[in-house]
Chains A and B, each alone.
Chain A
Amino acid sequence: MAFYFAQLLTGMANASALFLVASGLSIIFGVTRVVNFSHGSLYMLGAYIAYSSMTVLPGIIGFWASILVAGLAVGLIGMIIEVCVLKPIYKAPELFQLVATFGVILVIQDMALLIWGPEDLFGQRAPGFEGVVEIFGERVPSYDLVLIVLAVVVLIGLWYLFTKTRVGILVRAATQDREMVSALGVNQSVLFSGVFFLGAFLAGIGGAAQLPKGSANLLMDFGILAPIFVVVVTGGMGSIWGAFVAAMLISVLQVYGIRFLPNSTLVLMFIVMAVVLVIRPWGLFGKPEAAGDHGSQGPPPKPFRQLDPSGRIIVAVIIAALTLVPLSGVNFLSVLFADIIIFCLFAASLHYILGVGGLVSFGHAAFYGGGAYVAALFVQYAGTPMELALMLAPLGAGFAALIIGWFCVRLTGVYFAMLTLACAQVLWSIVFQWDEVTGGDDGMLSIWPSAWASEPGVYYYLVLVLGVGGVLVLRAMAHTPFGYALRGTRDSALRTEAIGMNVKLIQWMAFVFAGAMAGLAGGLFVFAKGSVFPTEMEIATSFDALIMVFLGGVQSLTGPIAGASVFTLLQDWLSRFEYWRLLLGLLIIFIAILLPGGLAGAVDQVKALLGRAPKDEAAP
């Protein structure tokens, strides 16, 4: 019994940082409707700044003051992010804010590397709390108790702030109807910046307070991102109590999980979330989000057009040019262009669900990596030839999308996005932790094409046929009756349902189709590289696809192709620089702010300037 109580305390101590960071994310989302992806980076900065501050301010007072300093500094950084990055794009569709904050992650990662270097920095122990205390005969680190007290103090502080102070009441009111709050004389701009300060402050404190238990390192940002999403979504977006209860629940389960099912700890967290969301789609303490409650999200999407004759000629010329690549005799070019085509297919499949279907998926890498692993597993364990494996990859990925999609399409908006992310993380963690079968972190090697396609030039043609074919199928599917129905669910789910269509079924089928096409891209990828690693499934890969789609422009079928091509070339080129993430991050932020239509939109703008504006009529 005493042992379980000690474990409970450990779980609660682990929950402390999670609660602080998650409550900050939740408060920011509540008021600004922005899911701040860079919140994990703020947590990381908290730890680094506290570390530096502790070297300057030693001793007992120095330790505690450093935690406060880190909180304030990170709060200020959060405010700077809000003012410089988010303020210009609040009125843009939510994807822009997500992508821009993702750009911030990249920038902060390289800034931290630049300032603090690549090594883990171990923090000092908390003065006076270095030892252990005995509770019912079990030894518990005394700093764990400090962390539990900190979480409770912050919870009470936030409760007081939100119920007893004018600022807190304004924030709650703005969470419900920020336009009305502004008409009643409250400066929204100041309120938003203030809320960002508070949210970032909490993340900074969270990062600083866990320093004595670990280190400040460059993996902290992505490391905490998935858990805080799980906490916020499970607890209910915008609910402080929800964040507290969910953080406790998940951390405590985690601790017991390590005891009994050591290999399933990552999965466990996501299963808790999936169960909660299926029963209560808006989380334990959240409220259902009323559609259209928060003002319009940018102009209505332009209808997709089928290519006009000149467009068809351009496409034919591009494809013809692509067939010439291997004739150059430079293998490197064949490999690079095969990569580009594969990513085009991957991005186009995401665009089908995101641009055509209007559902922002954050976990599309699950199907891309899933397809890759399906192919690799069949080759490794069943000796399946490449040709068959390439057929099984989309089938396997489509099957995964069938199951994941069943859960996800029940939700919309950010909840959909976060659930797809969480489901992708479940698949990732299975692949990552199931060493015996998938090789875990070491990946699966020697998955080569059949003999006839082993030359890079020949395999390139295979990629060209299947990749370009896949992209054309995706394009054509936007112009079928099914595509029209899907676009109907995007533009007005209510009206689509009112004319007798099953919205959820349409979305589910689109999700499966998009997943299968991503699986095909993954299958092509694994034979191109000869290996597959869990990285193909991780969050960063899902983000790569999102950025490709975003870069190209969501409101155009050509967008993802342009975006994937530019992104792949850009990454190839930028990765020569030591601080390429910084450059890429800044570029993403600038595009989010300056080119709201993406590259394809920019082309339209230029055309319009030249007086050759494309006709705006709907596709026939």
Chain B
Amino acid sequence: MLEISNIHTFYGGAHILHGVSLRVEAGEVVSLLGRNGAGKTTTIKSAIGLVRPRDGRITFDGTETTSWASHRICHLGLGYVPEERRIFSDLTVMENLEVGRRPARDDIPAWTTDTLFELFPNLAERRYNLGGHLSGGEQQMLTIARTLMGNPKLILLDEPSEGIAPVIIEKMAEVIAEFKAAGLTVLLSEQNLHFAKLVSDKAYIIESGEMRYEGTIAELEANSEVREKYLAV
């Protein structure tokens, strides 16, 4: 469904991604693992068009999107949940959701504020609060809910477990399992192997802007050498 082939991405003069490739099939949950600064976020930002690869090709759902503006990629059905959450702090929870709202798609069930409040009951209680007044965990829920309002086919989750309490991490794992059950495709970047194991089918490992490993989660679990080399802190 999402295919990144051999992309090279730069920030100014700095060469960040050196020919990164990955594939996500429909219905899969794929983890992109790697340490801080390995290039996970840049890969995800390249996919949603927030940075433009200088070389290489990105296709989503059979359409090449390499040089597209973010909003067009979003319209195709790619949803982006940023690492820093990027809640609109001056807008209420309801208004935050409104910004993400897009028309329903024929092939997947549409999300509404009601269904999202069922999934994230905490948000329902705080619907008229300003985004800036929510706790870190609530903001994490809100940023995901906001992206779901766009009825994406594939969600890019950038480090969803970063900086939130263990209880919420468990909740995130449940939410991702629900997505999978609902037929959503997910690409998540993670440093936390434990969390990735809970939710994903497949894993990639990136280091210094290059892909170093590709396999199923079960294979990765069996391969302690790779884990030591690329993931141990």
A: residues with CB less than 8 A from B are 166, 169-170, 172-173, 175-177, 179-189, 296, 299-300
Contact = CB atoms under 8 A, between A and B. Distances in A.
Given A169-B98, A173-B91, A185-B100, 6 more contacts: A169-B99, A172-B88, A173-B95, A183-B80, A185-B74, A187-B71
Contacts of B49: 183
B21 interface: no
Nearest to B149: A184
A488 B101 CA distance: 44
B33 to A, nearest CB: 23
B86 to A, nearest CB: 5
B12 A166 contact: no
A236 to B, nearest CB: 13
Nearest to A296: B12
B171 interface: no
B95 A187 contact: no
Q: How large is the interface on B (under 10, 10 to 19, 20 to 34, 35 or more residues)?
A: 20 to 34
Contacts of A169: 91, 95, 98-99
Contact of A173 (B75, B88, B150): B88
A182 B86 contact: no
Contact of A170 (B70, B82, B99, B147): B99
B88 A177 contact: yes
A183 B70 contact: yes
Given A169-B99, A173-B99, A177-B86, A186 B91 contact: no
Contacts, number: 67
B91 A183 contact: no
28 contacts: A166-B101, A170-B99, A173-B91, A173-B96, A175-B90, A176-B88, A176-B89, A177-B88, A180-B86, A180-B88, A181-B99, A182-B69, A182-B70, A182-B74, A183-B48, A183-B49, A183-B70, A183-B82, A184-B74, A184-B99, A184-B100, A184-B147, A184-B150, A185-B71, A186-B99, A187-B69, A187-B71, A188-B71
A388 to B, nearest CB: 51
B102 A185 contact: yes
A179 B101 CA distance: 16
B50 A179 contact: yes
A182 B71 contact: yes
Given A172-B90, A173-B88, A176-B90, A183 B74 contact: yes
Given A181-B99, A183-B74, A188-B71, A299 B12 contact: yes
Contact of B146 (A166, A175, A184): A184
A313 to B, nearest CB: 32
Contacts of A184: 71, 74, 80, 99-100, 146-147, 150
The list of the 10 closest CB pairs from A to B, nearest first, reads A185-B74, A182-B70, A180-B86, A173-B99, A173-B88, A183-B80, A183-B70, A184-B100, A187-B71, A169-B95
B103 to A, nearest CB: 10
Contacts of A180: 82, 86, 88
Interface string B37-50: 00000000000111
Nearest to A188: B71
B221 to A, nearest CB: 33
Contacts of B89: 176
Nearest to B76: A185
Nearest to B11: A296
Interface string B13-35: 10000000000000000000000
Contacts of B101: 166
A181 B147 CA distance: 11
B21 to A, nearest CB: 23
B41 to A, nearest CB: 13
Nearest to A170: B99
A186 B96 CA distance: 13
A186 B88 contact: no
A172 B102 CA distance: 18
